[in-house]
């Protein structure tokens, strides 16, 4: 989600980002739709292409994880 957010914010198309990373635009699509995991090396390359720290991709993730945990607890009861 953060990949797509930053890409559109910068006005970069999927094909342009793919060319910068040396992958196909289909791979970028898969990253954005969370159909394919992003390796640490690729995450680093994305952070350089977007001119953001790697931690940018993890901002707000804590809230999502906490919501999942509380949802699981309720189902277990």
Overall domain count for the chain: 1
Query: Cα torsion for 30, 34, 35, 37, to the nearest 10°?
Result: 90
Domain residue limits at 13: 2-76
pTM value is 0.75
Give how far Cα 30 sits from Cα of 25, 67, 68, 73, 77, Å.
9, 25, 23, 31, 36
- Report residue 62's pLDDT band, with 50, 70 and 90 as the boundaries: confident
pLDDT(77) > 70: no
Task: Quote the CA–CA distance of 74 and 19 in Å, as a whole number.
Answer: 45
Angle between helices 2-10 and 25-32 (to 10 degrees): 120
- What are the tens digits of pLDDT across the range 31-54? 999 999 999 999 999 999 999 999
CATH number at residue 48: 1.10.260.40
């Amino acid at each position: 989600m953060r990949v797509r957010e930053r890409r559109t914010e910068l006005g970069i198309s999927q094909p342009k980002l793919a060319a910068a990373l040396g992958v196909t635009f289909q791979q970028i699509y898969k990253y954005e739709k969370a159909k394919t995991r992003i390796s640490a090396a690729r995450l680093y390359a994305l952070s350089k292409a977007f001119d953001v720290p790697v931690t940018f991709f993890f901002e707000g993730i804590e809230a999502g994880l906490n919501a999942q945990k509380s949802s699981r607890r309720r189902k277990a009861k």
